[in-house]
Amino acid sequence: MTDLLAGIRVLDLTNVLAGPYCAYQLALLGADVIKVEAPQGGDLARQLGASPALNEAGMGASFLAQNAGKRSVVLDLKNEADRERFLDLVASADALVENFRPGVMARLGLGYEQLKEVRPDLVYCAISGFGQTGPMRDNPAYDQIIQGLSGIMSITGTPETAPLRVGYPVADTLGGLVGAFAIAAALVKQKTSGEGAFLDVSMLECTLSALGWPVSNYLTAGVEPKPMGNENMTAAPSGAFRTGDGLLNIAANKQEQFVTLCRLIGQSELASDPRFAEREIRKQNRADLKVLIEAALASASAAIWEEKFNRAGVPAGRVLTIPQVLEERQVVERDMTTRFQGLPGMDQPLTVVRGGFMVDGAAPLPVLPPPVLGEHMDEVFSDLPPRARRRA
């Protein structure tokens, strides 16, 4: 059984990525996630993505990526009647997640303190760029803003090209993952003690926390992290290497792995060369070592070397494109994706990606396709329990 959160209802009031990705993780685990959207177009991600036709249909590729498994209702939280219907939903919910700027929900009269009157044990998760307090709390925040402020961009790229943005919204994604983790933990407390919680998730703090090693090297060793391109500061040879066909990541981080690597490329003498024999001196001479290794790797493709190195215990992997990795047997055989047929605005099946783990050998997959805006109004509101229906 992959439905670890079966019986849990989550209200998803979020937009674009961090919040929707958070709620998507909960939906994958079997929670009943109800997406509460504004009537004027709903989630902005419905209009975002590489397909103009899907954007026009309100089913943008960005929305499709993290909203499968959810149900959609449309409510205008500034309208009194809709506010009452929303409170009905809150009364039926175990958790709520929103990613408005701090204070927006409170100004609507729907903040945590107000909603606790309806559902005393509510788990309320607020995801924002900087958190609910502090001098930057009211600043607008997008992923790239957080990437720059967190230090990620300063260490991404080479000394010549940095600072560079990471190639996907990593700060948004980290905020979503941390939010889902925090909600799941708070739900345990809710079910064991009957207490709710207010979860204040800061994308900046999530990103800074994930920068564990670079931050620790500075705080404990006084070494300021620098951009190193595809090199790994902790070891050599460890990075991306050119081969006869394609790039190959090699992580010979242990001494025995380095010795094995030298033997496999026909350069056993490198293991005893004074420039490379020991770990620390090897790091100082990584540029010279890379030239010698790449010269040997030129005799075969990255795929051939990958298989040879891994078989001998030297970690290695090709540098793949997104289309290539989606076709890899490892990804296909572990059911990393699932398909839905007949979605509005699409003349082909929709494929979506699941979360990054399995449960008892089974892949948690969404059971519903991403919803059309307001698709489940009748279904959701006709199914509210008696306690919640008192205002209907």
Domain ranges of the chain: 9-210+332-391, 238-319
- Nearest by Cα to 132 from 205, 24, 28: 205
pTM above 0.85, yes or no: yes
Q: Comparing 9-210+332-391 with 238-319, is the CATH topology the same?
A: no
Give CA torsion, residues 116, 97, 46, 128, to 10 deg: 110
Q: Which residue has the tokens 């990613």?
A: 99
**Distances from the Cα of 148 to the Cαs of 9, 40, 127, 191, 314, in angstroms?**
35, 32, 19, 39, 35
Q: If you classify domain 9-210+332-391 with CATH, what class do you get? A: alpha beta
Question: Cα–Cα distance between 234 and 252 in angstroms, integer?
Answer: 11
Fold (topology level) of 238-319? formyl-coa transferase, domain 3 (3.30.1540)
The sheet that has 9-12: what strands, in order across it?
A: 70-74, 32-37, 9-12, 95-98, 123-128, 197-202
Query: Within 10 Å of residue 4's Cβ, how many Cβ atoms?
Result: 15
- Nearest by Cα to 124 from 147, 174, 150, 90: 90
Inter-residue contact 122 to 129 (CB < 8 Å): no
Of 121, 172, 288, 383, which is the active-site residue?
172
Question: Is 76 part of the annotated catalytic residue set?
Answer: no
Backbone φ and ψ for 389, nearest 5 degrees, come out as -80, 0
Each of the 392 residues of the chain gets a pLDDT tens digit; together they read: 579 999 999 999 999 999 999 999 999 999 999 999 999 999 999 999 999 999 999 999 999 999 999 999 999 999 999 999 999 999 999 999 999 999 999 999 999 999 999 999 999 999 999 999 999 999 999 999 999 999 999 999 999 999 999 999 999 999 999 999 999 999 999 999 999 999 999 999 999 999 999 999 999 999 999 999 999 989 999 999 999 999 999 999 999 999 999 999 999 999 999 999 999 999 999 999 999 999 999 999 999 999 999 999 999 999 999 999 999 999 999 999 999 997 877 888 999 999 999 999 999 999 999 999 999 999 999 988 755 554 43
Beta strands 316-318 and 247-251 are antiparallel
